Chain A
Amino acid sequence: MAAAENYPDELRYHREHDWARIENGEAVFGITWFAQDALGELVHFEAPEEGATLTRDQPYAEVESVKAVSDVIAPLSGEVLEVNAAVVDAPETVNEDPYGAGWLVRVRLSDPGEADSLMDVEAYKQHLAEA
C-alpha cells in the first residue's frame, strides 16, 4: 500500500528526487514520494557496501520495480555507515513509507557545506511542478 503524496518540511531535497535528513555531521538518504510513485512497487534494492564512499550527484545504488530500474543519486558526499537491511529484505517498504522505514543509507558527511546546494521543501515542490 503506497503512502499518500507528501514532502516533509525538515528534509533537504535533490533534483533527482532524493532526500537527505541531516543531523550532526551525519545524514540519512532516501527517495521521495515522487520517485517511488514513478517507479511503482519496488522489488529490489541494490545497496552499496558499508564503508563505501558516496559522491554528491553520483549514483550510489539502484532501486528496481517490476517495470523499471533506476539509479539512486547521492544528494551529498560521505561514507556509508549503515544500509537499511529492512529495505533490502522488503523493498516495498520504500513505497509504504519513503521518509521513515523506507530510508536507504546513513552516511558520515565528508563536506557538510554541500547541504547548501540542496533544495528546501518549497523549492522541491516547485521543481516538481515544473517537471
Chain B
Amino acid sequence: MQTLLRTPLYERHVALGARLVPFAGWEMPVQYEGVISEHLAVRRDAGVFDVSHMGELEVEGPRARELLQSLVSNDLDRIGPGQAQYTLLTNEHGGIVDDLIVYERDPQRFLLIVNASNREADFEWLRERELRGSEVRDVSDASALLAVQGPRVIERLGLPAAPAFTFAPGAIDGVECVVNRTGYTGEEGVELLVSAESAGELWDRVLERGAVPCGLGARDTLRLEVCYPLHGNDIDQETDAISAGLGWVCALDKEFTGADELRRIKDAGPERRLVAFVMEEAGIPRQGMAIAEGGEVTSGSHSPMLARGIGMGYVPADFAQPGSELTIDVRGRPRRARVVRKPIYARDGEES
C-alpha cells in the first residue's frame, strides 16, 4: 500500500469538487471545472494552481554561491539579491538532473524551487557535493506555493508592477508571502511562497479576488503551448542540455558539472534535437509515440488555443528545421505533423 501525500490545500480541493489523481507521490487536483475552461481562464484572466508539492531547498553559507556555481548550468553572477534565474542541475554527461529556479535572497542565502518528482534526488545531489561553508536544507514541508497566472493577475491581486524573475516579501489581504515574478504558463503572473500554516488562508483570499482554481491538467496544456520542458518527459538525466534546446540556460564559459561534455556537443552539433510540432491531421500526439523520421514524442496534448494536437519530441537534426514534415504513429495510424519554431503559441496571436 502506498500512501499519497497531501498539500495543506487538500480539503479545499475536495470541497471544490476537484478530480484528484496521483502525481509524483502526491494526491493532486488534475481539474475542477475542466481542463479546457481552466486553460482559457489563465490565458484570458487569472487562474490559481496549488503547486505546494514542489520542493524548496535552501543553500546557505559563505561558500553557498561557490557550490551552486559549480553545479548549475547558468551563471549566478548575472543575478543579485532579489533576483531569480532559471537553471539546470547537470551531470557529467551534460544530462539534466533537474530544471529549476534559483532565488538569491542574499549573497550567502539561496532558495531553489525544484520539481516535485525530483525533490529528494536534488537534495541528495547537493548534499553529496556540499562544501565546508555551505549547508543544504530541505524546507519543503514548511512551505506551500500558489501559482497565480494570467493577464489580470497583477490587477486582481493588487500588486505593484515588478520585473520578471524578481521576488520580494509581500502580502495579499494581510496574508504574508514572498511574491515571485515567475511562472510556467507563458502568461503574466506570480508564484506565492507562503508558510504551510497560512496556505489555506492565502488560497481563499486569492479565490475571493477572482482567480479560477486550475489543476495539473491545465498546467500541462499551458506549458506545452509555450514549449516549457517537463522533466521526466522532454528532459531527463539522459538528455543533454544542448540537444534539448537549453543551451541558452548554459554558461559554457563557466566550469560546472558536465560543461566539458556540453561544449563538445555544441561544437560538434547535436545529432538529435527537441523540436515543437503541430498536427496537420486529426489526432493527439502523446508521450512515447514513435516519429517515423527517427524519433519519439516526449510531450503531447490537445492545444485549446490552436484547437489541434501539439507536441514536442526528439528528431534527427536533419528534421529539426521549422517546416519539416513529421509522421507521428498515433496508436497504429500515421498522422502528419509539422515542426514549428518555439513557442507553439504566443500571446499576440502569432503562430509559428
Chain A interface (Cβ < 8 Å from any Cβ of B)? 2, 40-41, 43-44, 46, 62, 64-67, 69, 88
Contact = CB atoms under 8 A, between A and B. Distances in A.
A41 B36 contact: yes
Interface stretch (B27-35, B160-168, B341-349): B27-35
B35 A66 contact: yes
A62 B331 contact: yes
A44 B284 contact: yes
B221 A66 contact: yes
Interface residues of B, number: 17
B283 interface: yes
B35 A44 contact: no
B35 A40 contact: yes
Interface string B258-287: 000000000000000000000000111010
Contacts of A88: 282
Contacts of B34: 2, 40-41
B181 interface: no
Contacts of A40: 31, 34-35, 217
Nearest to A89: B282
19 contacts: A2-B34, A40-B31, A40-B34, A40-B217, A41-B35, A41-B37, A43-B284, A43-B302, A44-B282, A44-B283, A46-B282, A46-B333, A64-B302, A66-B36, A66-B221, A66-B302, A67-B217, A69-B286, A88-B282
B301 interface: yes
Given A40-B35, A44-B302, A64 B284 contact: yes
B213 to A, nearest CB: 16
Given A43-B302, A66-B35, 5 more contacts: A40-B34, A43-B284, A44-B302, A66-B217, A67-B35
Contacts of A62: 331
Contacts of A41: 34-37
Interface string B300-314: 011000000100000
A66 B301 contact: yes
Contacts of A65: 35
A43 B331 CA distance: 16
Contacts of A2: 34
Contacts of B331: 62, 69
Contact of A46 (B31, B217, B283, B302): B283
A43 B36 CA distance: 10
A44 B307 CA distance: 10
Contacts of B37: 41
A69 B283 CA distance: 11
A44 to B, nearest CB: 6
Nearest to A38: B19
B309 to A, nearest CB: 8
A66 B221 CA distance: 8
A55 to B, nearest CB: 18
A67 B331 CA distance: 15
A72 to B, nearest CB: 13
B35 A69 contact: no
Give the 9 A-B CB pairs with smallest separation, nearest first: A43-B302, A66-B35, A41-B36, A66-B302, A41-B34, A67-B217, A44-B284, A64-B284, A66-B217
Nearest to A2: B34
Nearest to B307: A43
Interface in B183-221: 217, 221
Contacts of B282: 44, 46, 88
A25 B35 CA distance: 40
